[in-house]
Structure 1
Amino acid sequence: MAKIGFIGLGTMGCPMAERLIKAGHELRITRVKDASRYLVDLGATACETPAEVTQGSEIVILIVPDTPDVDSVLFGDRGVASTLGSGAILVDMSSISPLATKEFASKINALGAQYVDAPVSGGETGAREGTLSIMVGGTRDAVASVRPVLEAMGKNITHVGDIGAGQTVKVANQIVVGLTIQAVSEAFLLAKKAGVDLQVARDAMLGGFAQSRILELHGQRMIDETFDPGFKIALHRKDLNIALTNAGQLNVALPNTAGVVQIMNAAIAQGEGQSDHSALFRVLGAISGSDSE
């Protein structure tokens, strides 16, 4: 079993850390709050700083909200880089810029450590059940070394290429998820406005070519109006903005992605930024002048 430093005890991080503890790994964690204190009861060691978490850890895992957060945790005051041992492996499971990932990796490699980017998809449910899809970038040896740890958290673990490739595939994943949520939202809004029972409509579409995991799970969220995250609209917008930035660098047109970002901008303006991304249904209803409730 591995000695793991784990940083990022949010909606995704807590259940992921819990699964690692229950798999027998030795965890050091930081920024423990009321919602994550149960991890200490399960056997994790609470530390004051990222530097303390990293000290003596063979593998350090991060899952924090955005690129500047990773930068701060790694290279800020009492950050990971100050105590990361030669031969250790840094696994960033956040969803951040692929370009920044390559820069971070270069700095970590200079310390004699290895870097793996391994963003995840599957939401809180996947984190809790250990069924996350994990898109992994890094050297073959580094990925092989951390695979047993990743297997405690995910079901579909794919080595997609070199450093930064994991983040690129995650961005692509978020495009598909965002556009599909908007598609389901628009379909439901049309059906509801026409007087069709949404539960019946959902069940009918699940039996046809429109079937998807998003229609199944988020479609039910829309019907039940249960928009507690999940995955927050504000975070999904961050991921899609990364996609648009990368697209600009590569001269790639992503018009529908840009459209979903505009709907998410409207959502945040309406106070829905902390709601689950399935709340786009409610936002589109408000834009259309129709109450989704």
Structure 2
Amino acid sequence: MREASTLFGVTRISIMKCRLTTPAFISMSIVSRTFRTSTDLDTICECRTAPGSAAATSRSHQQHQQHQQHQQHQQHQQQHRQPKEDFMSLPRLGFIGIGLMGDPMTRRLAAAGYPLVVWNRSPDKARHAADATGAQLATSIAELVQSVDVIMLCLANTDVVQEVVMGDDGIARHARPGQRLIDLSSSDPAVTRELAALLRHDNGVSWVDAPVSGGVAGAESGSLAIMCGGSAEDVEAARPILEPMAARITHMGEVGAGQVTKICNQMLVGCAAAAIAEMVAMAEASGVDATRLCDALTGGFADSTPFRMLTPRMADRDFDAPKWHLRTLLKDLDMAVAQAQRSTSAVPMSGLAAQVMRQQVARGNGERDPAILIEGYGKA
């Protein structure tokens, strides 16, 4: 028996002795139950209509059409509603530092749908990034901080990070409780911990140090390796923001641990760069065509990303349009030496590589590609 009455647009249906459409075909009696539509009920219960009757066939066809229409309506609503919901749920990001790495990073974040506000010490770079991404261009750090949920830094060195955070018009003067800061710069671990503690105590702002490896190419393709320091909660909150830029995100420990890990990375890269310059110079002095070294050694134990990047440029003396700067690599090796002193750990190879690089920086080559190291050996 099937009875239906409608109240406030809701169909009330009483069913007696309906059979559930489960593999066991369990029979049960339902005294009364309220459903939004009869279609909802029909998907749960199969009433005792004669299976082969015309009425049953007609009703089954009608139910199938109603179900399809209902699904199509839901899909249509979802397609038109989702972008707004996603946009509204994304935090507003403020990005400070539009350089070799910061520019492609902002593009990746904008492509992922994040609303952006950008600021840079050199206004032209920030304006270029704003034009390319549709980001809002802030005229000051104060304006940026006051209008965003998450502050992101990608700055040249520790001194610049300190100035941006603690300066007269710095982040600390304008930040509010509940904001988050993600520092993508490669900075001194000890200073990072000090700044993070000050911001948390004075402003209620959490800090995640998230230095990156992979260079400009990695930033452009979204394939960076990002090593994070911070609480588990803060790193997990930062993860969705970092994902558009990264192939791998690793939580290394508390605040500062990401910076120590980046120093480890740069010790390997810096020592490799110095050794590659020696190797190319020795090959040339021995009468070997250095332009063929990559063909010969790629795929063997000596292969690495620095080897493939630097060897051809050193062999061709190609120092223009640098993808990274010698001064940056020297800065990282100097931090390695300082961290080694704090932790009573010997780093003789990193110290020597830093001196080789310092020699070239003293000659005015700090802004050039690290391939310039080959110039310290002349050419046969």
- Between the two structures, name the one with larger relative contact order (CA 8 Å, sep ≥ 6): 1
1:291 aligns with 2:374: no
Contact 1:56-1:85 within 8 A present in 2 as well? no
CA offsets per residue over residues 12-39 of structure 1, 9 Å max, x none?
1111111111111111111353344332
Contact 2:214-2:225 within 8 A present in 1 as well? yes
1:34 aligns with 2:127: no
Paired with 1:269 and 1:38, the residues of 2 have a C-alpha distance of 32
Paired with 1:281 and 1:150, the residues of 2 have a C-alpha distance of 36
The corresponding residue for 1:197 is 289
From 338, 352, 357, the counterpart of 1:259:
352
The corresponding residue for 2:14 is none
1:240 aligns with 2:328: no
1:224 Cα offset (Å): 3.3
The corresponding residue for 1:172 is 264
1:263 Cα offset (Å): 0.5
1:147 Cα offset (Å): 0.6
Larger deviation: 236-245 or 218-227?
Answer: 218-227
Paired with 1:36 and 1:195, the residues of 2 have a C-alpha distance of 48
The corresponding residue for 1:133 is 225
Paired with 2:331 and 2:163, the residues of 1 have a C-alpha distance of 17
Change (3 A) 1:226 1:154: farther
1:273 Cα offset (Å): 0.9
The corresponding residue for 1:88 is 179
Query: How many aligned residue pairs are there?
Result: 287
1:274 aligns with 2:367: yes
Paired with 1:50 and 1:229, the residues of 2 have a C-alpha distance of 29
The one-letter amino acid paired with 1:181 is A
Matches within 5 A, 1:213-228: 213-227=305-319, 228=321
Paired with 2:363 and 2:162, the residues of 1 have a C-alpha distance of 30
1:196 Cα offset (Å): 1.0
Paired with 1:106 and 1:37, the residues of 2 have a C-alpha distance of 32
Paired with 1:199 and 1:177, the residues of 2 have a C-alpha distance of 21
Contact 1:51-1:81 within 8 A present in 2 as well? no
The corresponding residue for 1:97 is 188
CA offsets per residue over residues 102-134 of structure 1, 9 Å max, x none?
100101111111100001111111112211111
Contact 1:134-1:158 within 8 A present in 2 as well? yes
Paired with 1:146 and 1:46, the residues of 2 have a C-alpha distance of 23
From 269, 273, 276, the counterpart of 1:181:
273
1:230 aligns with 2:318: no
The corresponding residue for 1:122 is 214
CA RMSD of aligned residues (A): 1.4
The one-letter amino acid paired with 2:233 is D
Paired with 2:375 and 2:246, the residues of 1 have a C-alpha distance of 31
Paired with 2:332 and 2:162, the residues of 1 have a C-alpha distance of 17
Larger deviation: 97-106 or 231-240?
Answer: 231-240
Moved over 3 A (4+): 32-36
Contact 1:7-1:62 within 8 A present in 2 as well? yes
Matches within 5 A, 1:1-80: 1-31=90-120, 33-41=123-131, 42-80=133-171
Paired with 1:221 and 1:147, the residues of 2 have a C-alpha distance of 35
Paired with 2:186 and 2:166, the residues of 1 have a C-alpha distance of 18
The one-letter amino acid paired with 2:261 is V
TM-score (norm. length: structure 1): 0.94
Larger deviation: 194-203 or 87-96?
Answer: 194-203
The gaps in structure 2 that reach 5 residues or longer are: 1-89
Aligned residues with identical type, % of pairs: 37
CA offsets per residue over residues 187-224 of structure 1, 9 Å max, x none?
11111111111232221111321111111122222233
Contact 1:134-1:154 within 8 A present in 2 as well? yes
Paired with 2:299 and 2:222, the residues of 1 have a C-alpha distance of 27
CA offsets per residue over residues 128-164 of structure 1, 9 Å max, x none?
2211111100011111111111111121211111100
The one-letter amino acid paired with 2:124 is D
1:278 Cα offset (Å): 2.4
**Secondary structure at the counterpart of residue 265 of structure 2:** helix
**Secondary structure at the counterpart of residue 28 of structure 1:** strand
Paired with 1:90 and 1:217, the residues of 2 have a C-alpha distance of 32
Structure number with bigger Rg: 2
